[in-house]
Amino acid sequence: MNPILDQILVGAVIAVALVYFIFRKKKCGAGCDCTTARLKRNVK
Partner 1 sequence: MNVAHQVERFRHNGHSHSHAQAHHSTGPGKGHRHVAIAGNPNCGKSTLFNLLTGLRQKVGNYPGVTVERKVGRFYGLHGEPMVLFDLPGSYSLQVRSPDEAVSRDVLLGREAGTPQPDLVIAVVDASNLERNLYLVAQLLDLNLPMVVVLNMFDMAERSGIRLDVAALEEELGVPVIPVVATEGRGIIELKTAISKATLTPPLKRPPMPEAIDAEVRTLAQTLPLSPNQAFSEALLLLTLHDRALEDLAAHRATVVAGVTAAQNRLKAEGMDPLCVLVEARYEWINRICQRAVVKPSRGGSPSLTDRLDRVLIHRVWGWVFFIGAMTLMFLSIFTLAQIPMDWIDSGVHALASWLGGHLPESHVRSLLVDGIIPGVGGVLIFLPQIMILYFFLGLLEDSGYMARAAFLMDRVMSIVGLHGKSFIPLLSSFACAIPGVMAARTVENRNDRIATILVAPLMSCSARIPVYTLMISVLLPRTAPLTKAAMMLALYGLGVVAAFSLAFVLKRTFLKSDASMLLLELPPYRKPSLRNVGVCMKERAGLFVTRAGTVILALSVLLWALVSFPKPADPSVSRGEAMAQSFAGQMGRGIEPIIKPLGYDWKIGVGLISSFAAREVFVGTMGIVYNVEGDEKAGDDATKGGTLRDTMSAETRPDGTPVFTPLVCLGLMVFYVLAMQCIGTLAVVRRETNSWRWPLIQIALLSTLAWVGAFAVYQGGRLLGFH
Least distance (Å) from partner 1 to the CB of residue 22?
A: 10
Least distance (Å) from partner 1 to the CB of residue 12?
A: 11
Binding site for partner 1 (CB under 8 A): 1, 3, 6-7, 9-10, 13-14, 17-18, 20-21, 24, 26-33, 35-44
Least distance (Å) from partner 1 to the CB of residue 8?
A: 10
Per-residue 3-state assignment (H helix, E strand, C coil) for 1-44: CCHHHHHHHHHHHHHHHHHHHHHCCCCCCCCCCCHHHHHHHHHC
Q: Could you tell me how far CA 18 lies from the centroid of its own chain?
A: 8
